[in-house]
Structure 1
């Protein structure tokens, strides 16, 4: 689909200019060759090509993707900061359940549990916070995963980038390296990209390009007789 969207406009542009040159055959490119009528023909053809591309995109779109506005991004950022503060202060009763994406438990066989990363440079931000409980007879850790939105240029990619992040085997909790993924979205942007980048560079607005990087929060409820070895430096200390 992406290749067709590149080839078709180029092909139509080639046909248009071929016809224009054919009509102009035999004419000398004099000083006043570009008359008002001929300039009008070129402009009408250019606009017509743009309208064709617009109609083509409209009818070939697979689904209607909701674009998150700058105002919504600002609200999300504000809400995320509040959640972050609650999480870091270990106020579990105030965690926003809309960010809860998974709830599970782990059984361990020793009194030591290791936190590790599959690779050193793990994509995105992962914060682990531990809440200790007085339960000497328990060999189970209760876990909750919270995920704040990941939005790129107004497209919400949270559900696509936060699958199967953790794995617990052999008394080791591993933050997995997500697989390489490619997402293709077609859009029409009538603005000048360079000017948008310059405006974002010199703007005091914290919301740039309708994008926000999501954060993964892992809450662990651990018996107090267990020792946590933080090899991956994932644990946050409030």
Structure 2
């Protein structure tokens, strides 16, 4: 449940409870008219609203959140890791493709010794890094397609788990890899400062995190085929690894 939803529900519940309170007070006003003076009633309602708003403010600012803002040292460590990944990739070395970054693997069958591949990035804001790797443990006529997601940092928050997977499928003996038409991530972050509630924030770079990593360049799709299989890359976007 998002913070905006919690806020809306809290306000709705407060209004309903106030309505109920006024209804009850009105019903018993004849019996309690000597006690519930206008002044006491006003004080009671004010205290009730104040307690509700305080509880809402506390939950909004200080309740536990699944979102963790990384420290400077953690960001530096991730930045060095990303730099090493880019270095390995530039050297066509597949050592950076470890299982802890692998999100999903698809297995496909195809006919013949050539596998045509079509990449659809959706729009200019989307990006898929496609790599090809020979794997002699795969039988002929099969292909493995694995999606690797590396840390993606925006304003000190790792949103890599929020990035959706691409569409990968076989059609007419051709492998299709499609990014979403709008490769966008929305996330919720609360700053624990009185008066600052930052709900449903989109990508926005903060000067406090100069080493922010743009998430679109932090994923890789690796096509594994047995030796002897040719990849038909008419778009010229697939790079080979060893």
Q: TM-score when scaled to structure 2? A: 0.58
1:65-144 superposed matches below 5 A = 65-93=67-95, 95-121=97-123, 123-132=125-134, 138-144=140-146
1:186-201 superposed matches below 5 A = 186-188=189-191, 200=207
SS in structure 2 opposite 1:236? strand
Do residues 227 (structure 1) and 235 (structure 2) align? no
How far off its partner does 1:130 sit? 1.9
Q: Distance in 1 between matches of 2:100 and 2:76?
A: 17
Query: After superposition, what is the alpha-carbon deviation per residue over 1:42-96, rounded to whole angstroms, capped at 9, x for unaligned?
Result: xxxxxxxx9787425147x584421123332221121122123223434335533
RMSD: 4.2
Structure 1 residues 107 and 123: CA distance shift in structure 2, 3 A:
farther
Q: Distance in 2 between matches of 1:151 and 1:117?
A: 26
Q: Distance in 2 between matches of 1:150 and 1:130?
A: 23
Of the candidates 144, 150, 153, which is equivalent to residue 151 of structure 1?
153
SS in structure 1 opposite 2:100? helix
Q: Distance in 2 between matches of 1:219 and 1:4?
A: 41
Q: Distance in 2 between matches of 1:199 and 1:92?
A: 33
Structure 1 residues 106 and 54: CA distance shift in structure 2, 3 A:
same
Structure 1 residues 57 and 63: CA distance shift in structure 2, 3 A:
same
Q: Distance in 2 between matches of 1:55 and 1:154?
A: 23
Q: Distance in 2 between matches of 1:123 and 1:77?
A: 23
Of the candidates 200, 206, 211, which is equivalent to residue 207 of structure 1?
211
Query: After superposition, what is the alpha-carbon deviation per residue over 1:16-63, rounded to whole angstroms, capped at 9, x for unaligned?
Result: xxxxxxxxxxxxxxxxxxxxxxxxxxxxxxxxxx9787425147x584
Structure 1 residues 123 and 231: CA distance shift in structure 2, 3 A:
farther
Structure 1 residues 212 and 72: CA distance shift in structure 2, 3 A:
farther
How far off its partner does 1:148 sit? 0.8
CA contact (8 A) 1:123 1:177 kept: no
CA contact (8 A) 1:161 1:178 kept: no
Structure 1 residues 3 and 235: CA distance shift in structure 2, 3 A:
same
Q: TM-score when scaled to structure 1? A: 0.59
CA contact (8 A) 1:73 1:212 kept: no
Aligned to 1:217: 220
Q: Distance in 1 between matches of 2:155 and 2:170?
A: 34
Q: Distance in 1 between matches of 2:222 and 2:154?
A: 26
The answer for unaligned runs of 5 or more in structure 1 is 9-49
